[in-house]
Chain A
């Protein structure tokens, strides 16, 4: 489209209105919620995960995640006895419809749910050229979709592959840790529906949270600790073959 003077005259007010909208923002956070009093994380208990896919379906429904894209997904690992360093990993449609019976027998088989690790020193937020993605004061990595250019730097920067470009909005999208729920005192959609309690939302700044007792008494890991991302999704009972 050529930018003629006439079109420019139409476009400029439209752009001005759009900016007004971006600047105005929406209502304040709920009055009882204080950003400085929380530091959110998640606990994933691998020996409890049954790979039912409830979390993946709930996430898609709660957050309008388009088909074929995932804010959370489940991987099934098969580690053969003689090649622990080369696990076979599959995730048919993100595990949304569960998993078909395992054809390979023997070895070690288990499920690993994955999601954004809400890193405290996140590489994805550091590469954003416009400040459209950030770690909130309560420890959640969010994307400002009104500000995102869709340049895909963050998608490449995430070591865990947790980001994608939404085909409708053409902006980066990822797990928000159900920010609209946790700020209202609810748990995330995935944790709400997990039938075995394999996923649990945790607030590290809340001294009453059972996470503290759990972290004291269990050997937990994060994914790719060598990346020093400050990942806050803790995995209990994680095999060394998990990538």
Chain B
């Protein structure tokens, strides 16, 4: 019937071979987890989750530093997590003896939050540090974990108006 069928067979063979190459290449190249959850590599989710952490979280800190927890409970800084001031310390939590956190300079650390700025919420305690302390370290008078100065101990209290001063 088809006297020139040979060239059609040749064409079919070429198409089948190309298809086979496509299927094999696709299987080799597309990652196994692609399409597991959607049009992306499913394994990428676990990869993102596998990254090591830098901040340990205050629950870990409080496991050992119970004295500081008690101190913080008596003041307003109870809501401030340890690493907000002390920095990322997951390495210290993993190995507390050989990795020790650096000592903080309160003149810098306290001012980050408490330096007066008209965009800060009005009820937030803020001071113009230059007027308030003249640049001396805040922990000269304030205990950072329990910042309110108690009256009977306040011999070197500079102005005593830290909560109202410098608000715009």
Contacts and interface: CB of A to CB of B under 8 A. Distances in A.
Given A136-B45, A180-B48, A192-B81, A62 B53 contact: yes
A63 to B, nearest CB: 8
Contacts of A86: none
A76 interface: yes
Interface string A81-114: 0000000000000000011011001000111000
B52 interface: yes
B58 interface: yes
A134 B38 CA distance: 8
B22 interface: no
B49 interface: yes
B115 interface: yes
A61 B120 CA distance: 25
A218 B70 CA distance: 33
B119 A110 contact: yes
Contacts of B84: 54, 192-195
Centre residue among B83, B113, B119 by max chain A CB count within 10 A: B119
Interface in A178-236: 179-181, 183-184, 186-187, 189, 192-197
A32 interface: no
A26 interface: yes
A47 B49 contact: no
B46 A186 contact: no
A50 B113 contact: yes
A23 interface: yes
Given A131-B41, A137-B37, A62 B50 contact: no
- Interface majority SS (helix, strand, loop, mixed), chain A: loop
A158 interface: no
Given A131-B41, A136-B37, A50 B121 contact: yes
A192 B46 contact: no
Contacts of B37: 35, 134, 136-137
Given A26-B43, A51-B117, A187-B57, A192 B50 contact: no
A111 B49 contact: no
A176 B48 contact: yes
A61 B88 contact: yes
> Which of the four size classes fits the interface of chain A?
35 or more
A53 B111 CA distance: 12
Contact of A51 (B51, B55, B120): B120
Contact of A50 (B31, B48, B120): B120
A99 B117 contact: yes
B53 A181 contact: yes
Contact of A62 (B39, B88, B120): B88
Centre residue among B29, B53, B58 by max chain A CB count within 10 A: B53
Interface stretch (A116-124, A142-150, A162-170): A142-150
B53 A19 contact: no
B40 A144 contact: yes
Contacts of B39: 131, 134
Contacts of B28: 19
A12 to B, nearest CB: 13
A197 B81 CA distance: 10
Contacts of A78: 119
B141 interface: no
5 contacts: A26-B43, A27-B46, A111-B120, A131-B38, A192-B83
Interface of A: 19, 22-30, 33, 35, 47-54, 58, 61-63, 76-78, 98-99, 101-102, 105, 109-111, 131-137, 142, 144, 146-147, 176, 179-181, 183-184, 186-187, 189, 192-197
Interface of B: 28-29, 31-34, 37-41, 43-55, 57-58, 79-81, 83-84, 87-88, 112-113, 115-121, 124, 168
